[in-house]
Amino acid sequence: MRSVWPMLREFSADTFEIDSRVFRTLKLLFFKPGQLSIEFSRNRRANYVSPLRLFLFACFVHLGVLAVLISSGWLSRAISEPTDWSGYIEPTAEQIESVRSRLAPEQRTRLDEIMERGLDDMNWRTVATYISLDPAEAAASLRCSIVC
């Protein structure tokens, strides 16, 4: 019987040791991802890091970076800073109606729902900005994105 601590030490050593296999795997993963899959399917796995180990390593690196960003306060500043709406232009009623006339009935309903929300809603500002720039182009752009 083995105790838990030696097993955890062995697991962490296997997971976090960085050797040439890590760099070889990352190089293929970023520049030729299909080649890495081919190498694994041909059972040439000794030269590369296992997918599970790579996933665990990436998760811990991600959590570490996130912890540093949170502790430094950078992340909270990036989220809480007010948005600058100085370039925002309110669409006219004619522009809104021009766009509405080009949309399908279900899209008109969705546009009306968004336009009823007012200035505090990000979707409203996005749609209003599209409309105020060019109503003809706005109808085409909104047709693709307004249904979702």
pLDDT tens track for 37-46: 899 889 988 8
Nearest of 144, 42, 46, 136 to residue 94 by alpha carbon: 136
Domain spans of the chain? 4-80, 93-145
- pTM of the full predicted structure? 0.42
Share of the chain above pLDDT 90, in %: 6
Return the pLDDT at 63. 92
Instruction: Write down the pLDDT at residue 6.
Output: 87
Do 115 and 127 contact (CB within 8 A), yes or no? yes
Question: 148 pLDDT band (50/70/90 cuts)?
Answer: very low
CA-nearest of 104, 110, 88 to 140 is 104
Interatomic CA distance for residues 30 and 51, integer angstroms: 14
